[in-house]
Amino acid sequence: MIANKKILLLILLICVFTTTMVAQSNRSLPFLEVNSDTRTSGMGNTNMGESESMYLYTNPTSIFHKEDKFYSSYSIGIYPEIENNRQLFHTVSAGFKIADKHALMIGLRSLSGYEVISMDEEGGLESLYPIDKAIDLAYTLQITPNFSTYFGGSYIHSDLGKVATTLGLNAGAYYYNQYQTHSNYGYYTLGISINDLGGKVKYGNDVNETALPTSIGFGGSLLFPIQTNHSIQVALTNRYYMLPSDASEFSTGLGLEYELFNTVSLRTGYFWSKEMNYLTMGLGCNIKSLRLDAAYQKGNLNNLYQLGAHIQF
Cis peptide before 244 (omega within 30 of 0): yes
Supply the pLDDT for residue 180. 87
Instruction: Give the single-character DSSP code of 8.
Output: H
Alpha-carbon torsion (50, 52, 57, 63), positive or negative: positive
Mean pLDDT of 2-10: 42
**Residues 6 or more apart from 76 whose CB is under 8 A from it?**
88, 89, 90, 91, 306, 307, 308
Instruction: Please give the model's pTM, rounded to 2 decimal places.
Output: 0.88
Supply the pLDDT for residue 7. 39
User: 283, 300, 285: which is closest to 41 by C-alpha?
Assistant: 283
Supply the pLDDT for residue 27. 86
Instruction: Give the single-character DSSP code of 91.
Output: E
Check: CB of residue 159 under 8 Å from CB of residue 136.
no
Check: CB of residue 137 under 8 Å from CB of residue 158.
no
Instruction: Give the single-character DSSP code of 27.
Output: -
Mean pLDDT, the chain, integer: 88
Q: What is the DSSP string of 233-279?
A: EEEEEEEEE-SSGGG-EEEEEEEEEEEETTTEEEEEEEEE-SS--EE
**pLDDT tens for each residue of 32-48:** 999 999 999 999 999 99
How many domains does the structure of the chain reveal? 1
User: Which residue type is seen at 311?
Assistant: I
Predicted confidence (pLDDT) at residue 299 exceeds the cutoff of 50: yes
Lowest mean pLDDT among 7-21, 106-120, 176-190: 7-21
Radius of gyration of the chain (CA): 20
Q: What residue numbers bound the domain in which 295 lies?
A: 2-312
Hey, is 39 helix, strand or coil? Answer: helix
Q: pLDDT confidence of 23, banded at 50, 70, 90?
A: very low
Check: CB of residue 47 under 8 Å from CB of residue 33.
no
What CATH number does residue 253 fall under? 2.40.160.60
User: Which residue type is seen at 174?
Assistant: Y
Q: pLDDT confidence of 227, banded at 50, 70, 90?
A: confident
